[in-house]
């Protein structure tokens, strides 16, 4: 387990896991009034949290399955929160459902998972050939 520094606008904003086996921490909407996201629209939702993630880790922001079932997704999923970012975490949601979607204060709108990050060093070389080789998108079929 890693230690994550956190500042909260309100104690109700604290991310939480609903079960011991959950890998994701629920992220809540920090809004004063309900926000409607119309069909096909994008919304930027405040969470009221700022994080200090240790170097070598990131937080990934992902859609919640219950919202995805309604057609509401984290647009840039997984979104990345880098270890050197100190601003408020905000969630970009898109409504691909058939109806207007309403977010109420402190609704759970996304989940956050922490991951170890590995650096890479790029080395110029000739690439090995593979069976797929330069076959592109959809190479193996749909």
The pLDDT value recorded for residue 138 is 67
Residue 131, pLDDT score: 84
pLDDT at 4: 96
Task: Mark out the alpha helices in the chain (DSSP H runs).
Answer: 65-68
In angstroms, the CA 139 to CA 122 distance is 26
Q: List the chain pLDDT tens, one digit each, 142 residues.
A: 899 999 999 999 999 999 999 999 999 999 999 999 999 999 999 999 999 999 999 999 999 999 999 999 999 989 999 999 999 999 999 999 999 999 999 999 999 999 999 999 999 999 999 888 877 776 666 5
How far is residue 121 CA from its own chain's centroid? 26
Do 44 and 91 meet the contact criterion of CB atoms below 8 Å apart? yes
User: For the whole model, what pTM was predicted?
Assistant: 0.87
pLDDT score at 136: 72
Superfamily of segment(s) 8-15+23-116: Deoxyuridine triphosphatase (dUTPase) (2.70.40.10)
């Amino acid at each position: 387990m890693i230690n994550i520094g956190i500042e909260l606008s309100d104690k109700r904003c604290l991310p939480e896991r609903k079960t011991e086996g959950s890998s994701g921490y629920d992220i809540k909407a920090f809004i004063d009034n309900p926000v409607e996201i119309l069909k096909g629209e994008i919304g930027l939702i405040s969470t009221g949290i700022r994080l200090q993630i240790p170097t070598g880790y990131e937080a990934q922001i992902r859609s919640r399955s219950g919202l995805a079932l309604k057609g509401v997704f984290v647009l840039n999923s997984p979104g990345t929160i880098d270890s050197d970012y100190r601003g408020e975490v905000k969630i970009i949601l898109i409504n691909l459902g058939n109806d207007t979607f309403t977010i109420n204060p402190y609704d759970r709108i996304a989940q956050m998972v922490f991951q170890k990050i590995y650096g890479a060093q790029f080395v110029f070389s000739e690439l090995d050939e593979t069976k797929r080789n330069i076959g592109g998108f959809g190479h193996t079929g749909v």
